Amino acid sequence: MPEPWRTGRFTRIEKINEAVLRFWIEIPELPVFNFKPGQFVTLDLPIGDKPVKRWRSYSIASHPDGTNIIELVIVLLEGGAGTHYLFNEVTIGTEVPVRGPQGVFTLPEQIDKDLFFICTGTGIAPFRSMINYIQLHNLEHKNIYLIFGCRKLCDSLYGEEMKAASQVLSNFYYLPSYSREDKENETIRHGYVHGIYQDILNAQKPNADFYLCGWKNMIDEAKQNILSMGYDKKSIHLELYG
């Protein structure tokens, strides 16, 4: 049975940069909004007559914390009716129907393999939820690689938070890369995400599961690369944006 539609109320909005906002949504009729890290919710926005025109789905960026409030991180899409509404019409107190949680892009019951979380932009949302959940509950795990790509340092979503997590969570490696940052900055990785996981896999060939989240082009390339390195397609899990 699908989850019913419930009223969601925006309680907080934070600007990351000109193109990215964080939104906090409360589900007042529930004392606790239960979900698994990696799942998403669907919003029914007032932007069209037919459901297919109104519904927009977003991964939950927060972890289950015993409250009825969830966080979403959303990028403004040029010409996108949904994000135009969210960025220009929504204010504190705005209410929209919310359905969820939904999705099977979730952690395995036992983390008995290395995990490669590969993402770009707001595709980091489900992985931020997973990392915080693993840390909070002290879950046993193998190596976890969060490989995050964006254009510039200013686009690095949750960067300081993930860097801090890598200092306290054992075997967790935060590996960001920037495709359009100044090449003279030698303190960061330059380029795209693909070279990072390829280097690790070539050096170690670990027993691993791969979680890919972001735009289709990145996911398609990563999937082909991983398959070409001898991994089974059952080890690859996808959450496609757009």
Lowest mean pLDDT among 129-138, 142-151, 229-238: 142-151
Q: Average pLDDT in the 200-205 region? A: 92
Q: Where along the chain do its domains lie?
A: 5-102, 114-241
Q: In terms of pLDDT, which residue wins out, 223 or 188?
A: 223
Q: What is the pLDDT of residue 124?
A: 95
Report d(CA 50, CA 57) in Å as an integer: 15
pLDDT mean across residues, the chain: 92
Q: Average pLDDT in the 201-228 region? A: 94
CA dihedral in degrees (83, 88, 63, 11; nearest 10)? -150
Q: What is the pLDDT of residue 47?
A: 95
For 114-241, the fitting CATH number among 3.90.78.10, 3.40.50.20, 3.30.1490.100, 3.40.50.80 is 3.40.50.80
For residue range 96-109, what is the model confidence (pLDDT) as tens digits?
999 999 999 999 99
Is the confidence at residue 164, as pLDDT, over 80? yes
Q: What is the pLDDT of residue 17?
A: 87
CATH code for the domain defined by 5-102: 2.40.30.10
Confidence of residue 211 (pLDDT cuts 50, 70, 90): very high
Q: What is the pLDDT of residue 5?
A: 97
Which of 198, 200, 189 minimizes the C-alpha distance to 223? 198
Q: In terms of pLDDT, which residue wins out, 176 or 133?
A: 133
Q: Which residues contact 167 (CB under 8 A, 6 or more apart)?
A: none
CB of 221 closer than 8 Å to CB of 193 = no
Which of 83, 85, 90, 35 minimizes the C-alpha distance to 60? 35
CB of 56 closer than 8 Å to CB of 42 = yes
Q: Average pLDDT in the 89-99 region? A: 98
Q: What is the pLDDT of residue 150?
A: 67
Q: What is the pLDDT of residue 91?
A: 98
Q: Average pLDDT in the 157-179 region? A: 92
Q: Average pLDDT in the 25-49 region? A: 97
Q: What is the pLDDT of residue 231?
A: 97
Confidence of residue 215 (pLDDT cuts 50, 70, 90): confident
